[in-house]
Structure 1
Amino acid sequence: MVNIGVGPSNAKTITDHIAVLRPHAWMMLGHCAGLRNSQQLGDYVLAHAYVREDHVLDEELPLWVPIPALAEIQLALEKAVADVTRLDGPELKTIMRTGTVASTDNRNWELLPQNEPQRRFSQSRAVALDMESATIAANGFRFRVPYGTLLCVSDKPLHGEIKLPGMANHFYRERVEQHLRIGMRAIEILRAEGSSRLHSRKLRSFAEVAFQ
Structure 2
Amino acid sequence: MTLKALLFDIDGTLVDSDPIHIAVFMDFLAERGVTITRSDYMERIHGRLNTETFTELLPDADPIEMDLAKEAAYRERLGDTIEPMAGARDLIARARAANMKIGAVTNGPRANLNAVLNATGLAAAFDHAGSSNDVKRGKPHPELYLAALAALNIAAHEALVFEDSPTGIQAARAAGIDVVAITSSLSADALVAHGALFAISDFNDPALARHLSSLEGAFA
Whether the TM-score (by the shorter chain) exceeds 0.5 is no
Which structure is richer in relative contact order (CA contacts within 8 A, separation 6 or more)? 1
TM-score (norm 1): 0.29
